[in-house]
Structure formats: structure tokens, C-alpha cells
């Protein structure tokens, strides 16, 4: 399985009045982690989109276990758990000092400029 990690420091603007990372920002972190996982493979979303391939979120789930706070340094671990010709599934783990704060799961579908399902390029699905 393809796995990558990034670190993110929780910024003040990303927190609520209690100083906790707002739940919606976990989704932003997941997207950032997916983008960096792709970049680690030598590609970018821009490369893919310039070629007419777009990944859209078809399903997303987050399980919150412990809160993250302002100024925490988090590790986001992203793993591709399954791929098919038109879909990618990811698992995300949000960690602080090794403690699991949240985990997420997403399914992305590949579509063309017309919004219809399209087979992913081989370099993305692992067939190249």
C-alpha cells in the first residue's frame, strides 16, 4: 500500500472558541495530505487536471477520538487502501505525539471535464 505522512501545525484561525481544531478543518488536512502523497509520486493535481482527469470526493467519513488544539503539531498519515480503474480509497490517521486523534476514509472517483466517470491514468491507478 502507498503511504505518506505530512506534518501540520494547527493555526489559530482553524480553531473554535475553545481553542480546538474545528471539525471541518480535518477535511482540509486530508486533502492536503492526499495532494502531498501524489506529489511524492512525482505528480501533481495540476498535471492530472491539465490532462483532463479530475478526482471528486464520492464518500467521506471521519471518526473523531481526541481533540487537537491550537499550536499542536499533527502528523497526517495517508494510505491508499484500494484502487480500481475509476476509484481510489484512502485512509487517514491524524496523530499527535503518536496518539490517534482522528481517522478518516474517503472514496474519490475519476471524472473527465464533462463530469462523467473516466478511467484513471495508469500512473495513478498503479497499472503503469
Closest C-alpha to 67, from 33, 31, 26: 26
Question: Out of 16, 47, 50, 72, which one is annotated catalytic?
Answer: 16
The owner of cell 474519490 is 108
Active site annotation includes 16:
yes
- In whole angstroms, how large is the CA radius of gyration of the chain? 15
Closest C-alpha to 80, from 90, 70, 72: 90
> Which 8-state DSSP code applies to residue 38?
H
The answer to whether the beta carbons of residues 47 and 57 sit under 8 Å apart is no
Distant-in-sequence, close-in-space partners of 34: CB < 8 Å, separation ≥ 6: 78, 90, 106, 108
Annotated catalytic sites, by residue?
A: 16
Amino acid at each position: 500500500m502507498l503511504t505518506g505522512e505530512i506534518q501540520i501545525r494547527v493555526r489559530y484561525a482553524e480553531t473554535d472558541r475553545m481553542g480546538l481544531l474545528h471539525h471541518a478543518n480535518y477535511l482540509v488536512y486530508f486533502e492536503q495530505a492526499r495532494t502531498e502523497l501524489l506529489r511524492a509520486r512525482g505528480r501533481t493535481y495540476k498535471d492530472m487536471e491539465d490532462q483532463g482527469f479530475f478526482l471528486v470526493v464520492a464518500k467521506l467519513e471521519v471518526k473523531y477520538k481526541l481533540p487537537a488544539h491550537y499550536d499542536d503539531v499533527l502528523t497526517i498519515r495517508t494510505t491508499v487502501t484500494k484502487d480500481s480503474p475509476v476509484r481510489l480509497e484512502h485512509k487517514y490517521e491524524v496523530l499527535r505525539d503518536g496518539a490517534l486523534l482522528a481517522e478518516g476514509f474517503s472514496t474519490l472517483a475519476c471524472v473527465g471535464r464533462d463530469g462523467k466517470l473516466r478511467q484513471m491514468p495508469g500512473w495513478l491507478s498503479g497499472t503503469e
